[in-house]
Structure 1
């Protein structure tokens, strides 16, 4: 895509890049975005207010919603801001190809997050029913088993990296039980799920790998049903077809794994860099859910959520948004919006109005499962590893961001053997 394509006389009506050269707009990918996404959000807020024109990977134009109230408006108003990417003008008119690395995150597919209205209700009902059934079949038992198994691998060493050795794998291992997958598929799916969110030239390849593995799973479960989420989707009265089943397995796998693993790492970081929180958890004066709440406000597992599309010309945050424009939701930026949170240092315990789980009809339906994995993951770790402490200075901990998330690179710890 060239600047002439975006800025000449045929520049798409309302397209963010039509308001200036692509070189004038901020990219939400690349070296700067990887190291200082928060700095970028704040500069954009200063320059543009609560909504800012940006470029996604491949210089795809979009509007980044930075304000808390504007995020709420977009999330809660599906008639104005649909999740259905088939009205996305830049894709429809050929400026964004199906081979774009952002398509696994933004493009349309036959799942409940890609649709609104009755199609959404039908598909989401099947997902919600399946997750409710899964939550009642021993998620905490599975989480306890796999947490202990992961810890067994490094408990005798006196040191570990709680990102690579623990947080990256625990949620996926639990998900293999929930979905009915062999545990051996977990490591391959961890890599592929991470790559889909990271983007880059391999995103589509890894997305195809996920679909292939889950397609084989669905075929097995049709032949040999079980007490798992996959069978629940196949047998649901909503009558999902074969493609709908696989796309919802993909949705749950990527969303549940990437968000829960990221959140687990951030919760452990918060605990280990604040001795008062660690001692509070050990003594029982503080709960894991209270720490999770803080992290949800300050470093939500998805920093930016894709995507919504304007259903008509409208105004948002003082900007003219045109029908078919793509908007992405700045969940981290919205959570620290000074208009609603002027003092980010004030305690948010008991306040669950953060944006981390989204909002409106597409709010995350699997919150209880993620919460169970987090609570068990932290509790088992603290019980198994006496004297657990950070193995480096807190300021040495680093993160790497993609467009959609900021992940802790490593969390070295030491403990008694």
Structure 2
């Protein structure tokens, strides 16, 4: 991040006290704990982990608290801390096909092996305020799909619910079912999931209808853009790394542009899956994989039509997105742009922003972008004085030039008038 600071030390130190005061806010309001942010703002923590390139929900929550909810500042904190960590090596590739699913949907097959698992999602909410959440200990309001009451978005319904004594037998007890997963009334347990949930692109691949995913020749170690300079055109592993830590809003905008016609793409969501996967590491002294634990990932694979070429038959191509935590919007946007960036590989014209790897990689990094934009508010006194003197000199030269031109014009007009006055005398 580009930063240049010059200023009074006392004034700068005073801003730290003001930050702490602004961060705390009204002391009559209970302070948020890191645990509360981690557990109740999981989607925000996931974004910070992605853009900060570090999987640690506790640190992501701390970063959000320290940054007053500013996701970009929080990501900057995560990246700064990440540079202090020792690196022991690279883990084994995670196997998302063996993911412990908490959510899995497909827009290509209605009945697919393992079924659709709605899981926790806002897709089926009405985007109306749930005023019950304004209480310190809100109780879950009945879903409007359950058939009783006005449900979500009705302040009267929320007030009526909160007005009930806590010992009433008809109060809404929290359900263990994830949001968006409807269970029969009275049932509290989650329905068991199928243990076999193949990825949709793998199903298409078994029929020979999906482009094959093959590692580069020799299966080299993936490029690390945090340690090596990027060159263009960039390979796919570099592009995927950059997009995985890129700004979600920027990636969303590029993905939207692809759908609006600024890219040769006709996507279907082959599958979005969210869940836990095991991470394994092979220590040099042991020589075999050791399970380090589980992390939550979101994976999206977009399916796109490809008409084929002389050497390649018509088939589906894929765009791939993978993100820390529950981050569907990020993974979907990433998969859209991934496919757009593969345009040259399929002999397609690369004429739009989402198809230009240099444009995408250099402008998706919000920490770098924020640093370069925000450094403009820091002292630039010498630079400005130079431009100020330049503008003044140009104005003086302009005024002098205009004065000379005005004087020359007046002289020419005077001479022309004198010439015109002498013409009648010559005629006589």
TM-score (norm 1): 0.24
User: With CA pairs under 8 Å and 6+ residues apart, which has the higher RCO, 1 or 2?
Assistant: 1
- Give the structure with the larger helix fraction: 1
Q: Larger Cα Rg: Structure 1 or Structure 2?
A: 2
TM-score (norm 2): 0.23
